[in-house]
Amino acid sequence: MDELAHGKENRVAEQKISGNKENDRGSQFGRPPLQPGRARSERVVSFVTPAELEALRAFANRRGLSVSAVIYGILRMSLDAKE
């Protein structure tokens, strides 16, 4: 195996281990990271009934958003209203 191919093979192996995704030119895919405190890194889970989930999906579809974006919008509006 030539040195160039071997280097690429090592990068791919390192990416799989580290979780970093790079293209052939070495630049990262995806969005640049946000500043600490601005990045949404915490997960909150809530359980809903099948009917509630269907209502959320319909609401999201009417607005062209994901269910996750709708839930986050509801959360932000509620928290902003308390401030």
- 43-83 maps to CATH 1.10.1220: yes
Classify 73 as helix, strand or coil.
helix
pLDDT in tens, 8-52: 565 555 555 555 555 555 566 787 887 877 777 788 999 999 999
* pLDDT tens sequence across 60-74: 999 999 999 999 999
In the chain, what are the domain boundaries?
A: 1-29, 43-83
**pTM listed for this prediction:** 0.54
Question: Tokens 């401030």 sit at which residue?
Answer: 83
- Residue 28 DSSP SS3: strand
Find where tokens 């994901």 sit. 66
